[in-house]
Structure 1
Amino acid sequence: MHQPAVLPVAAFSSARPALPERLRLSYLQAVPRHMVHRAAIAEVFLTDAVRTGEHSFLVAAQWPRDHALYSPGSDGTSDPLLFMETIRQALVYLAHAHYDVPLTHRFIGFDAEFEITDPAALRVGGEPAPLVLEARWTWVGNRPPNRFGMRLDVVLTVGDRACGRGALHVVAVDDKRYAMLRGRGAVPRDGAAAGPAPRTLQRVHPSAVGRLRAKDSVLVRERTDGPWQLLIDVEHPIFFDHPCDHVPLMVTLEGFRQLGHLLLHPAAQASGTGYTLLGMEADCLAFGELDQPIDLVVRERVPDPASGRTRLTLDAVQGGTPLATCRSMWAAVAHRAAVPLPA
Structure 2
Amino acid sequence: MQQSRLRPEPRGAQGRSGPELDFQRTVSRRLVHRAAVAEVFVTDALVLGEDRFLVGGQWPRDHALYHPDAQRGSDPLLFAETVRQALVYLAHWHYEIPLGHRFVGYDMDFEITDPVALRVGGRPVPVELDASWEWTDRRPPRRYGARLEVALSVGGRACGRGSLRIVALDERSYRIIRGPQGGACAAPVAVEPRRRVEPALVGRLRNKDSVLAAGPSPAEWLLQPDLDHAILFDHPTDHLPLMVLLEGFRQLGHLMTCSAAPRPEGRAPALVSAAVDCLAFAELDVPTRLCVREDRTVDDVSAGDARTGRRLLRLDALQGDTLVASCASVWAPVSLATATGRPGGQSVSHA
Q: Does the pair score TM above 0.5? A: yes
Q: Is 1:212 aligned to residue 202 of structure 2? A: no
For residue 150 of structure 2, what is the aligned residue in structure 1?
154
Output the CA distance in 1 between the equivalents of 2:16 and 2:264: 48
For residue 5 of structure 1, what is the aligned residue in structure 2?
none
Give the % identical residues.
53
**Greater Cα shift, 228-237 or 163-172:** 228-237
CA contact (8 A) 2:212 2:225 kept: no
For residue 16 of structure 2, what is the aligned residue in structure 1?
18
Residue 293 of structure 2: which of 299, 304, 312 is its match?
299
For residue 275 of structure 2, what is the aligned residue in structure 1?
281
CA contact (8 A) 2:215 2:289 kept: no
For residue 320 of structure 1, what is the aligned residue in structure 2?
321
Q: Which amino acid aligns with 1:112?
A: M
**How big is the shift at 1:75?**
1.7
Q: Which amino acid aligns with 2:207?
A: A
For residue 225 of structure 1, what is the aligned residue in structure 2?
218
Aligned length: 320
Within 5 A, what are the aligned runs for 1:115-264? 115-186=111-182, 188-195=184-191, 199-223=192-216, 225=218, 227-264=220-257
**Greater Cα shift, 323-332 or 12-21:** 12-21
CA contact (8 A) 1:194 1:233 kept: no
Output the CA distance in 2 between the equivalents of 1:232 and 1:121: 31
CA contact (8 A) 2:295 2:312 kept: yes
1:64-93 alpha-carbon deviations (Å, 9 max, x no partner): 000000010122110000001000000000
Change beyond 3 A, Cα 1:264–1:319: same
CA contact (8 A) 1:219 1:230 kept: yes
5+ residue gaps, structure 2, are 1-9, 302-307, 338-351
1:226-280 alpha-carbon deviations (Å, 9 max, x no partner): 5101003210000000000000000000000000010111323474532100011
Change beyond 3 A, Cα 1:304–1:32: same
Output the CA distance in 1 between the equivalents of 2:223 and 2:14: 42
CA contact (8 A) 1:229 1:294 kept: yes
Output the CA distance in 2 between the equivalents of 1:101 and 1:273: 46
For residue 6 of structure 1, what is the aligned residue in structure 2?
none
Q: Which amino acid aligns with 1:231?
A: Q
| RMSD between aligned residues | 2.0
Query: Normalization by structure 2: what TM-score?
Result: 0.87
1:139-192 alpha-carbon deviations (Å, 9 max, x no partner): 002211110010000000100111000000100010111011112143544432
For residue 39 of structure 1, what is the aligned residue in structure 2?
35
Change beyond 3 A, Cα 1:268–1:32: same
Output the CA distance in 2 between the equivalents of 1:188 and 1:38: 18
Q: Secondary structure at the match of 2:270?
A: strand
CA contact (8 A) 2:193 2:224 kept: no
Q: Secondary structure at the match of 1:95?
A: helix
Query: Normalization by structure 1: what TM-score?
Result: 0.89
Change beyond 3 A, Cα 1:16–1:246: farther
For residue 342 of structure 2, what is the aligned residue in structure 1?
none
Q: Secondary structure at the match of 2:197?
A: coil
Output the CA distance in 2 between the equivalents of 1:29 and 1:17: 24
